[in-house]
């Protein structure tokens, strides 16, 4: 599978209104950084407009760190208690840093009951779903879940081998019509019986916030004209490639999640050449 076939260059006549509006929902006291990274990543993935929905305490932090991102605040200071907004986003990413307060769980339930917008679900939003598996029925078809191994285990249960994990994830994906970005080394994308293995990335990504950035990238792509499977594949590919491109500059140790965002431009630029070797296995 060739990533270059998925990639769509930005049209010369494009404007911010044609490049998609991404909404990132998350953050809680002490974890505003997660949603700050996600929303910044969505912008750098090409979304024309990005809004972050966060608890009140994050307002000055996010507005200062990301002046290009618009902000909607919850009425509660330290966590999200009610997800209501009047904007019409093209894609929503929910979960980075959101925490598991009871009010936040209730807000997620309420949100899922009415939401029809293409969705990416990560981090504590996944953990809340794991404790309320009936809510999986509320997800729009082709919703993208981005679990790391522990989050996946909470969703599908313990397994004895990698093969069993893949089989259970395929069954889970088919049962609920979901795309699972099974994060790891390497990341695999499971869409029903189809399993795609990413070819980019390295251990530099073993750093706090690198998954939060992936969620922002995928949501930013989903808000443009990419299908959920394309957004998951291109997002995972670009995310990993940033770590490969950064390696001569940062080494494995000093690479941090912000570097993923920093090197995203260089990663996109590789897609504009004629490299045929790139892609997924």
Ligand X SMILES: Nc1ncnc2c1ncn2[C@@H]1O[C@H](COP(=O)(O)OP(=O)(O)O)[C@@H](O)[C@H]1O
**Among 16, 75, 133, 150, interactor with ligand NAX by CB under 6 A:** 150
* 3-state DSSP assignment of residue 100: coil
123: left (phi over 0), alpha (psi -120 to 50) or beta: left
**CB 185, min distance to ligand X, A:** 3
Among the listed residues 234, 235, 227, 224, the one whose alpha carbon sits nearest the alpha carbon of residue 19: 224
Q: Is residue 84 a contact partner of residue 109, using CB atoms and an 8 Å limit?
A: no
Residue 90 or 130: the one with the smaller Cβ distance to ligand NAX is 130
CA distances to 58, 100, 160, 236 from 65, in Å = 10, 25, 43, 24
Residue 107 or 256: the one with the smaller Cβ distance to ligand X is 256
Q: Is 206 in the site for ligand X (CB under 6 A)?
A: yes
Residue 74 or 212: the one with the smaller Cβ distance to ligand NAX is 212
CA distance 48 to 23: 11
**Among 184, 227, 244, 258, interactor with ligand NAX by CB under 6 A:** 184
* Per-residue mark of binding to Mg ion, 100-139 (x: CB under 5 A): -----------------------x----------------
Q: Is 251 in the site for ligand X (CB under 6 A)?
A: no
**Among 211, 216, 235, 279, interactor with Mg ion by CB under 5 A:** 211
Query: What residue 187 binds from ligand NAX, Mg ion, ligand X, none (CB within 5 to 8 A, per partner kind)?
Result: ligand X
Residue 11, annotated as binding a ligand: no
# residues contacting Mg ion (CB under 5 A): 2
Q: Which residue has the tokens 């790891």?
A: 184
- DSSP one-letter code for 18: T
CA distance 278 to 70: 35
Contacts to ligand NAX from residues 23-62, by CB under 6 A: 31, 33-34
Residue 146 or 224: the one with the smaller Cβ distance to ligand X is 146
Q: Is 69 in the site for Mg ion (CB under 5 A)?
A: no
For 181, the token pair is 């970005």
Distance of CA 102 to the CA centre of its chain: 23
Among the listed residues 50, 60, 61, the one whose alpha carbon sits nearest the alpha carbon of residue 25: 50
Q: Is 183 in the site for ligand X (CB under 6 A)?
A: yes
Q: Is 209 in the site for ligand NAX (CB under 6 A)?
A: yes
**Among 95, 99, 118, 211, interactor with ligand X by CB under 6 A:** 211
Residue 267, annotated as binding a ligand: no
Pairing mode, if any, of strands 21-25 and 49-54?
Answer: parallel
Q: Is 147 in the site for ligand NAX (CB under 6 A)?
A: no
CA distance 127 to 277: 37
CA atoms within 13 A on the CB side of 211: 25
Chain residues binding ligand NAX by CB under 6 A are 31, 33-34, 96-98, 123-124, 148-151, 184, 208-209, 211-212
């Amino acid at each position: 599978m060739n990533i270059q076939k998925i990639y769509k260059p930005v049209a010369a006549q494009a404007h911010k209104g044609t490049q998609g509006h991404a909404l990132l929902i998350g953050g809680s006291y002490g974890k505003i950084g997660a949603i700050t990274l996600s929303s910044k990543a969505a912008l750098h993935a090409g979304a024309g407009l990005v809004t972050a929905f966060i608890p009140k305490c994050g307002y000055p932090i996010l507005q200062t760190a990301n002046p290009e991102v618009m902000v909607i605040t919850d009425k509660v200071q330290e966590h999200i208690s009610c997800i209501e907004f009047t904007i019409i986003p093209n894609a929503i990413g929910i979960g980075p840093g959101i925490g598991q307060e009871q009010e936040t769980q209730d807000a997620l339930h309420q949100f899922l009951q009415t939401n029809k917008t293409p969705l990416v679900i990560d981090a504590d939003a996944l953990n809340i779903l794991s404790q309320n598996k009936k809510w999986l029925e509320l997800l729009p078809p082709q919703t993208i879940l981005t679990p790391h191994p522990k989050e996946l285990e909470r969703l599908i249960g313990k397994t004895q081998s990698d093969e069993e994990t893949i089989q259970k994830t395929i069954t889970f994906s088919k049962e609920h019509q979901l795309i699972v970005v099974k994060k790891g080394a390497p990341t695999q994308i499971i869409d029903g019986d189809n399993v795609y293995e990413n070819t980019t990335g390295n251990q530099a990504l073993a750093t706090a916030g690198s998954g939060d950035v992936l969620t922002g990238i995928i949501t930013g792509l989903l808000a443009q004209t990419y299908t959920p499977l394309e957004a998951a594949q291109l997002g995972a590919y670009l995310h990993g490639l940033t770590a490969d491109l950064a390696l001569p500059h940062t080494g494995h140790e000093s690479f941090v999640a912000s570097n993923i965002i920093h090197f995203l431009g260089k990663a996109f630029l590789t897609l504009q050449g004629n490299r045929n070797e790139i892609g997924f296995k």
